[in-house]
């Protein structure tokens, strides 16, 4: 059986980018026969970006409820909180010891921080924590602990998965003694949807404050966000360029091929931006409206979610604990003889 794994960092409210890039493909993948799926709330990763405990906690609940509302079946998949697995930080250390510092120097998140510092004339590493620097090693541990073959993610995570492969390869080489301890994971990317644009056309991201919320705030918040999508100033009746706005790309993420063609044709024929936005709201709502009701129901019962996560962690550890024992043995950490 093939193993599929992915995680979401618990620092914000789930947005359409998370849904299209990770939640929807992961739930779909988990329904295939002969697949074992591992989905988790990356709360250790959250500490890298966020020092507000209440926010991490709230976000964890929202992301868990979102995944369940989107159709994840906790009986069928391993659904857990990253921090409930002590094996993860332990494996992180084993991997840290074989990871070249130069590899981490090239990680996007770290480089972005140093670029900002350099541009501002500050020390290159100002405000960079070791958590940020080693972020890809923790992520490699998440993936390698379960020997995942496939990792459904958006484009921004691909580099991290390549790094996990590099780290796995190095570990196999050093400690495998002729066999592969780790599977080399592969990113699962939907080329068309790998980077969903936000309101301003840049990647939809909590850090750019350009997101469209998935469930929170109800249809009203969805409508308000869509109203803020940047378009040109062409009036109703004037032909529009369908490729000139994130509106169409977001529409595509939810539309059938026929709907896509029709939307483009109508824009070229002069459909007004206001009407186009209403169509986008209706389309998204037809997909997520029913899920939002389930979401509200789940958010009202955090104790049920907690139970599901605890159970998921127990089951996941039945795989992780013996595997980690094997890895400890492989590197020479074992009882005195």
**SS3 state of residue 61:** helix
d(CA 85, CA 83): 5
Residue 164 vs 271, nearer CB to ligand TYM: 164
Taking residues 142 to 181 in sequence order and writing x for each that binds ligand TYM by CB under 6 A, - otherwise, the string is: xx-------x-xx-xx------------------------
Show contacts with ligand TYM in window 12-41 (CB under 6 A).
17-18, 20-22
d(CA 23, CA 133): 26
Residue 136 vs 242, nearer CB to ligand TYM: 136
Residue from 13, 66, 83, 205 touching ligand TYM (CB under 6 A): that is: 205
CB of 210 to ligand TYM, least distance (A): 9
Residue from 3, 4, 7, 113 touching ligand TYM (CB under 6 A): that is: 7
The footprint of ligand TYM on this chain (CB under 6 A) covers a number of residues equal to: 26
Q: Judge contact between 248 and 224, C-beta under 8 A.
A: no
Say whether residue 45 binds ligand TYM (CB under 6 A): yes
Backbone φ, ψ for residue 167 (5° rounding): -65, -40
Contact stretch for ligand TYM (CB under 6 A) within 69-77, 126-134, 194-202, 277-285: 194-202
Q: Judge contact between 295 and 215, C-beta under 8 A.
A: yes
Show contacts with ligand TYM in window 275-314 (CB under 6 A).
none
Residue 62 CB neighbours (<10 A):
22
CA nearest neighbour of 15 among 53, 61, 62: 62
Catalogue the E-assigned strands of the chain: 2-9, 35-42, 78-81, 150-152, 186-188
CB of 334 to ligand TYM, least distance (A): 28
Which residue has the closest beta carbon to ligand TYM? 21
The CA angle 9-12-17, to the nearest 5 degrees, is 80
Burial 219-253 (b: 16+ CB within 10 A, else e): eeebbebbeebebeeeeeeeebebeebbbbbbbbb
CB of 239 to ligand TYM, least distance (A): 29
Query: H or E segment at 117?
Result: helix 108-119
Residue 143 vs 271, nearer CB to ligand TYM: 143
Residue 22 vs 163, nearer CB to ligand TYM: 22
Residue 172 vs 205, nearer CB to ligand TYM: 205
First to last CA, the chain: 37
Show contacts with ligand TYM in window 212-241 (CB under 6 A).
none
Taking residues 126 to 145 in sequence order and writing x for each that binds ligand TYM by CB under 6 A, - otherwise, the string is: -------------x--xx--
Binding site for ligand TYM (CB under 6 A): 5-9, 17-18, 20-22, 42, 45, 139, 142-143, 151, 153-154, 156-157, 194-196, 203-205
């Amino acid at each position: 059986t093939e193993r599929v794994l992915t995680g979401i960092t618990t620092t914000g409210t789930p947005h359409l980018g998370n849904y299209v890039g990770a939640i929807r493909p992961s739930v779909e993948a988990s329904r295939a026969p002969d697949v074992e799926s591992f989905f988790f709330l990356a709360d250790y990763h959250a500490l890298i970006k966020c020092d507000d405990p209440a926010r991490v906690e709230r976000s964890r609940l929202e992301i868990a409820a979102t995944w369940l509302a989107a159709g994840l079946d906790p009986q069928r998949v391993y659904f857990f909180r990253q921090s409930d697995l002590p094996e993860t930080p332990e494996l992180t250390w084993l991997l840290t010891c074989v990871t070249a510092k130069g590899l981490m120097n090239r990680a996007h998140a770290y480089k972005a921080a140093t670029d900002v510092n350099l541009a501002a004339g500050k020390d290159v590493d100002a405000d960079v924590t070791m958590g940020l620097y080693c972020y890809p090693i923790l992520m490699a541990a998440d993936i390698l602990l379960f020997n995942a073959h496939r990792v459904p993610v958006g484009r921004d995570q691909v580099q991290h998965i390549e790094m996990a492969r590099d780290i796995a390869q190095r570990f196999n080489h050093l400690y495998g003694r002729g066999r592969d301890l780790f599977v080399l994971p592969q990113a699962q990317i939907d080329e068309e949807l790998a980077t969903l644009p936000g309101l301003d056309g840049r990647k939809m991201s909590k850090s750019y404050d350009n997101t469209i919320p998935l469930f929170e705030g109800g249809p009203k918040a969805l409508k308000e966000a869509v109203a803020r999508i940047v378009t040109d100033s062409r009036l109703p009746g004037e032909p529009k360029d369908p490729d000139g706005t994130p509106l169409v790309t977001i529409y595509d993420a939810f539309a059938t091929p026929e709907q896509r063609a029709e939307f483009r044709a109508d824009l070229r024929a002069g459909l007004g931006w206001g009407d186009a936005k209403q169509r986008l709201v209706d389309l998204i709502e037809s997909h997520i409206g029913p899920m939002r009701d389930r979401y509200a129901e789940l958010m009202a019962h955090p104790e049920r979610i907690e139970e599901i996560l605890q159970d998921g962690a127990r089951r996941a550890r039945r795989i992780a604990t013996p595997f980690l024992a094997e890895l400890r043995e492989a590197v020479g950490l074992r009882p005195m003889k």
